[in-house]
Amino acid sequence: MSDNREAFEAWFSDDGKWPASIERTKDGSYKYAVANNQWKVWQAALAHSAAEKDAEIERLQYEKAASSALAEQQTIEIARLQRVTLLMADKLEAHGEKFNAAEFDAALAAEKEPK
């Protein structure tokens, strides 16, 4: 007997207080129509719950993929900005000016501060 059927029968028979309520015929269906109908409802509820769980798993997998894609884009942007910074430093030095990373970092930080 499946765990689901055992759980249903425990619930429907009030933890075994009403064993006649879950008696079955030779074909395995419940002797009483109410029990058969409730078993069908129980199974439908389980199927719906499983479908909701599957949908939640799919949503979380999508969010994980989207998050990974965003992290990859950010990594690419950081690398691009690093190349731009090095290029700017080379151009400054080509004009006889020394690139000062601390001043550059301070200028970037000032731009990020809310005004």
Q: How many residues belong to the chain?
A: 115
Joined tokens for residue 10: 């425990």
Structural domain of 21:
3-112
| Domains contained in the chain, number | 1
With a cut of 70, say whether residue 113 has pLDDT above it: no
Give me the pLDDT at residue 88, please: 82
Return the pLDDT at 37.
93
Q: Write out the DSSP string of 49-102.
A: HHHHHHHHHHHHHHHHHHHHHHHHHHHHHHHHHHHHHHHHHHHHHHTTPPP-HH
Give residue 96's pLDDT: 75
| Dist. CA 95–CA 51, nearest whole Å | 66
Q: Return the amino acid letter for 36.
A: N
**Which pLDDT tens digit goes with each residue over 7-46?**
999 999 999 999 999 999 999 899 999 999 999 999 999 9
Mean per-residue pLDDT for 85-111? 76
pLDDT at 35: 94
Are 82 and 88 in contact by the 8 Å Cβ rule? The answer is: no
